[in-house]
């Protein structure tokens, strides 16, 4: 029997072909309210467009809202659920700005909003931002640590343990590959039945020792 | 009741009893059986082994005991044959990638903050999905407006993985794969935390290592 999800995907594909939304371009230009999927009801499109206007007015990125709506349409969500998700994202973008400050770029804000969505607190983000500034003087993006933090939280690592692990790596100026390695190792441990908190603690210590050994002349 | 009537009753009772006895006698009388039939029947009975003993009895009992096992084995064989036939007719089923295969390919996946050759402000990111038995895989994400037809992936030369190179603007991008019609996150990439619609997605960062 054909699943409902497959029917939704097939319908989305047909609608995309029929209306030319997101034509065969390798990387489409920035999304605007005009790009909202035609499958959404006019009232839903208007509501999301108004939210986008509100974000732009305070210099927050509005493109993630339209991408979120398109994602919801592809995944077969109803309009009401899409609006709830878009409103939550708009609110989290505002909280991320408050936590990271006006200097945060769009990638940092979106990554921070994602971390807030899965259980990070604004205080954790602020502390991470402070550590990052002290360690790198803002020379590198905070998005990589934030993405790793969101991933750990998604895998049910307790928020204080996940934030402490990421914070310690940021303080030691760990390269992006170390955050990826931490994420992958914790994922493997959890799949093998290990407790998430114990895994993240032990894996972080291993990475910190590796950093020390690489930096020791 | 008069004597006459009483005599009549007695006569009728005697008549009924004699009729019953006559019928009963007829029923008790042996049924006439032809001599050759009776002889054949007796011959057949005499050839049977006594019940509960003998090799023939054991063989019959064993055969009956084995029949459920035979039926189960036949059912399993039919199910396996049906599954193989269905797989052949409907295309090879999707098999999740093994952890060994993922380990092999993790090095080729875009790591957060890392990207391939940069050009014109964009960086080309190679997306890889291990699905040797899939018949169609495509890439969807915020960079193609979650359009399921925009980025069909190509099978690798060894047939194990599906690949596509996509120029992406700097920033955080959320994406997923569509494998034979079903959405799947990238097992080799971080999960997007904001899975609001029940199906997880993945994240790739472009230009995340240094401020753009």
Question: pLDDT by residue (tens digit) across A183-212?
Answer: 999 999 999 999 999 999 999 999 999 988
| Residues A70, B150: C-beta atoms closer than 8 Å | no
Predicted confidence at residue B206, as pLDDT, reads: 81
Partner residue opposite A143 with nearest CB, options B188, B191, B208:
B208
CA dist A132 → A128, A140, A143, B22 (Å): 6, 8, 11, 119
Give me the mean pLDDT over the A176-185 stretch: 91
CA-based R_g, chain A, Å = 20
Q: CB-based contacts of B63: which residues, under 8 Å, 6+ apart?
A: none
CB atoms within 10 A of CB A187: 20
Query: Residue range A56-74: average pLDDT?
Result: 94
What residues contact B116, with CB distance under 8 A and at least 6 apart?
Answer: B110, B123, B124, B125, B126, B165
A156 touches chain B (CB under 8 A): no
pLDDT digits (tens, 9 = 90+) for A40-64: 999 999 999 999 999 999 999 999 9
The top-scoring range by mean pLDDT among A22-36, A117-131, A138-152, B46-60 is A117-131
Which residues in chain B are contacts of A140 at CB distance < 8 A?
A: 209-211
CB of A132 less than 8 A from some CB of B: no
Question: ipTM of this model?
Answer: 0.74
Q: Is A36 exposed, middle or buried (0-12, 13-18, 19+ CB in 10 A)?
A: buried
Tell me the HSE value of B52 on the side-chain side, using a 13 A CA sphere: 0
What count of residues does chain B have?
Answer: 212
Instruction: Indicate if the pLDDT at residue A22 is higher than 90.
Output: no
Binary contact (B174, A141; C-beta < 8 A): no
Q: How confident is the model at residue B58 (pLDDT cuts 50, 70, 90)?
A: low
Are B57 and B49 in contact by the 8 Å Cβ rule? The answer is: yes
Q: What is the pLDDT of residue A26?
A: 45
Tens-digit pLDDT profile for residues A109-120? 999 999 999 999
CB interface of B with A, residues 138-177, below 8 Å: 140, 142-151, 166-172, 174
- Spatial distance between the Cα atoms of B29 and A107, rounded to a whole number of angstroms: 109
CA–CA gap between residue B143 and residue A26 (Å, rounded): 8
Name the pTM for this structure: 0.65
Beta strands in B24-160 (DSSP E): 118-119, 122-130, 137-141, 154-155
CB atoms within 10 A of CB B83: 11
Chain B: nearest CA to A20, how far in angstroms? Answer: 10
User: Above 80 in pLDDT, residue B161?
Assistant: yes
Cβ contact, residue pair B112, A176, below 8 Å: yes
CB contact at 8 A, B166 and B206: no
- pLDDT score recorded for residue A34: 83
Chain pair A-B, CB pairs under 8 angstroms? 184
> What is the model's pLDDT at position B172?
82
The region of weakest confidence among A16-25, A69-78, B18-27, B114-123 is: A16-25
Comparison of pLDDT for B19 and B56, the residue scoring more: B19
């Amino acid at each position: 029997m054909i699943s409902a999800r497959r029917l939704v995907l097939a319908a989305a594909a047909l609608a995309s072909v029929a209306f030319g939304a997101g034509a065969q371009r390798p990387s489409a230009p920035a999304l605007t309210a005009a790009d909202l999927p035609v499958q959404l009801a006019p009232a839903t499109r208007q509501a999301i467009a108004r939210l986008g206007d509100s974000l732009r007015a305070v210099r927050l990125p509005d493109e993630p809202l339209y991408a979120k709506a398109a994602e919801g349409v592809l995944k077969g969500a109803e309009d009401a659920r899409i609006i709830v998700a878009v409103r939550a994202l708009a609110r989290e973008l505002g909280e991320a700005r408050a936590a990271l400050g006006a200097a945060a770029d769009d990638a940092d804000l979106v990554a921070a909003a994602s971390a807030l969505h899965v259980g990070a607190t604004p205080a954790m983000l602020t502390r991470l931002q402070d550590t990052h500034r002290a360690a790198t003087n803002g020379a590198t993006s905070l998005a990589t640590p934030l993405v790793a933090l969101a991933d750990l939280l998604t895998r049910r690592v307790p928020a204080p343990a996940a934030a402490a692990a990421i914070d310690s790596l940021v303080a030691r100026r760990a390269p992006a590959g170390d955050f990826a390695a931490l994420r992958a190792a914790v994922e493997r441990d959890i799949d093998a039945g290990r407790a998430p908190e114990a895994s993240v603690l032990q894996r972080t210590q291993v990475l910190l020792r590796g950093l020390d050994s690489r930096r020791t002349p | 009741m008069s004597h006459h009537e009483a005599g009549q009753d007695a006569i009728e009772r005697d008549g009924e009893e004699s009729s019953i006895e006559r019928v009963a006698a007829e029923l008790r009388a042996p049924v006439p059986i032809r001599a050759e039939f009776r002889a054949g029947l007796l011959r057949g009975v005499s050839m049977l082994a006594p019940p509960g003993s003998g090799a023939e009895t054991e063989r019959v009992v064993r055969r009956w005991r084995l029949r459920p096992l035979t039926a189960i084995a036949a059912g399993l064989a039919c199910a396996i044959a049906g599954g193989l036939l269905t797989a052949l007719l409907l295309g090879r089923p999707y098999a999740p990638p093994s952890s060994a295969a993922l380990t092999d390919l993790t090095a080729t996946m875009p790591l957060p903050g890392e990207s391939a050759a940069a050009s014109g402000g964009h960086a080309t990111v190679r997306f890889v999905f291990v699905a040797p038995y899939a018949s169609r895989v495509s890439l969807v994400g915020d960079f193609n407006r979650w359009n399921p037809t925009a980025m069909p992936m190509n099978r690798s030369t060894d047939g194990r993985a599906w690949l596509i190179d996509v120029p992406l603007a700097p920033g955080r991008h959320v994406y997923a794969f569509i494998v034979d019609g079903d959405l799947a996150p990238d097992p080799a990439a971080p999960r997007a935390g904001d899975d609001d619609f029940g199906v997880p997605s993945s994240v790739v960062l472009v230009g995340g290592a240094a401020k753009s």
